[in-house]
């Protein structure tokens, strides 16, 4: 497997123009001069590809698609590719350095990792193409307009993230499965002894997703973040234990739930419920 750490070497391999900048690279695809078949490769930077009427020989789908493809650093690109030379489109490449220095400009989309393609409508293609033309204008004009170029990169990334949220709504069946799997993993978490609280990272790894990508899907369909869902579930379990296990003290319940310190459990419970675990149990007893 080939690994590429810079735009220049990757562009040379693919048959793309030499980049004008080491941190941002913008361009149009020309499949007639590009490498159409490759073994797996890995790049150490971010790539967003907009491909129009794209057809892969590996997909088994005879119909071409128009979609956005994304890869983040150190993720294998598509297990290689074998494509028809019939598509058009654009690409944006961003170094890790530019993301780190301007993180506030970029959305959670850049932390999605590898995921399914984003299918574009005709209106969205036109919108992206318009922004891309402006990006190319300032990209080719040199470093004196770098901040303007960076602003348009921010607009483009923001549009892509907005389109993903649109796709969450237009193709709910695919994403409802992820929500169901998350909820199933959550309900199974305490079916075995634990030594820590459940985390978003844990469930993302279980589902083969990145935390940000999982977070956007869960928030879209439940109106609560994964962490809020986790907190609700932990409180539900805590209430069940306080109600059903009268012989267990607060420390035992805290450790059973995965809290490292009992006092943290007490503070967490009071913040969520409005009562300390002791007061909650006392209130239950008085009702009985």
Please report the pLDDT score of residue 222 as a whole number. Answer: 93
Give pLDDT tens digits for 155-172. 998 898 889 888 888 878
Q: Which domains does the chain have, with CATH numbers?
A: 2-170 (2.60.120.280), 174-287 (1.10.10.60)
Q: What is the 3-state secondary structure (H, E, C) of the chain?
A: CEEECCHHHHHHHHCCCCCCCCCEEEEECCHHHCCCEECCEEECCEEEEEEEEECECCCCCCCCEEEEEEECCCEECCCCEEECCCCEEEEEEECHHHHHHCHHHCCHHHHCCCCCCEECCHHHHHHHHHHHHHHHHHHHCCHHHHHHHHHHHHHHHHHHHHHHHHHHHHCHHHHHHHHHHHHHHHHHHHHCCCCCCCCHHHHHHHHCCCHHHHHHHHHHHHCCCHHHHHHHHHHHHHHHHHHHCCCCCHHHHHHHHCCCCHHHHHHHHHHHHCCCHHHHHHHHHHHC
Please report the pLDDT score of residue 218 as a whole number. Answer: 93
Please report the pLDDT score of residue 174 as a whole number. Answer: 76
Please report the pLDDT score of residue 277 as a whole number. Answer: 94
pTM beyond 0.85: the answer is no
Please report the pLDDT score of residue 108 as a whole number. Answer: 60
Give pLDDT tens digits for 8-56. 999 999 999 999 999 999 999 999 999 999 998 999 998 999 999 999 8
Please report the pLDDT score of residue 113 as a whole number. Answer: 58
Please report the pLDDT score of residue 77 as a whole number. Answer: 63
- Per-residue pLDDT 10s for the chain (288 aa) are 889 999 999 999 999 999 999 999 999 999 999 999 999 899 999 899 999 999 988 766 678 999 998 888 877 665 788 999 989 999 999 999 998 888 777 666 566 655 567 889 999 999 999 999 999 999 999 888 899 999 999 999 889 888 988 888 887 887 888 899 999 999 999 998 999 999 999 998 898 887 888 888 899 899 999 999 999 999 999 999 999 988 899 999 999 999 999 999 999 999 999 999 999 998 887 765
Please report the pLDDT score of residue 247 as a whole number. Answer: 86
């Amino acid at each position: 497997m080939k690994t590429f750490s810079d735009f220049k070497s990757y562009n040379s391999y693919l048959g793309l123009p030499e980049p004008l900048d080491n941190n941002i690279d913008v361009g149009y695809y020309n499949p007639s001069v590009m490498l159409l078949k490759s073994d797996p490769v890995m790049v150490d930077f971010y790539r967003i590809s907009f491909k129009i009427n794209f057809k892969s020989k590996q997909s088994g789908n005879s119909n071409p698609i128009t979609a956005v493809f994304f890869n983040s650093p150190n993720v294998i690109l598509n297990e290689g590719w074998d494509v028809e030379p019939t598509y058009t489109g654009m690409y944006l490449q961003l170094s890790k350095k530019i993301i780190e220095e301007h993180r506030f400009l970029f959305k959670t989309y850049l932390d999605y990792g590898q995921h399914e393609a984003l299918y574009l409508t005709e209106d969205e293609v036109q919108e992206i193409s318009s922004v891309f033309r402006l990006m190319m204008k300032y990209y080719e004009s040199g470093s004196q307009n770098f901040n303007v170029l960076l602003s348009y990169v921010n607009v483009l990334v923001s549009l892509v993230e907005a389109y993903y949220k649109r796709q969450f709504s237009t193709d709910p069946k695919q994403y409802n499965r992820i929500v169901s799997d998350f909820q199933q993993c959550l309900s199974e978490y305490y079916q075995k002894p634990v030594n820590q609280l459940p985390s978003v990272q844990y469930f993302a790894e279980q589902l083969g997703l990145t935390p940000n990508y999982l977070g956007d899907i869960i928030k879209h369909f439940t109106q609560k973040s994964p962490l809020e869902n986790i907190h609700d579930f932990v409180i539900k379990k805590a209430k069940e234990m306080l109600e059903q296990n009268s012989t267990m003290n607060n420390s035992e319940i805290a450790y059973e739930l995965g809290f490292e310190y009992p006092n943290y459990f007490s503070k967490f419970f009071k913040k969520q419920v409005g009562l300390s675990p002791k007061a909650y149990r006392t209130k239950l007893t008085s009702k009985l």
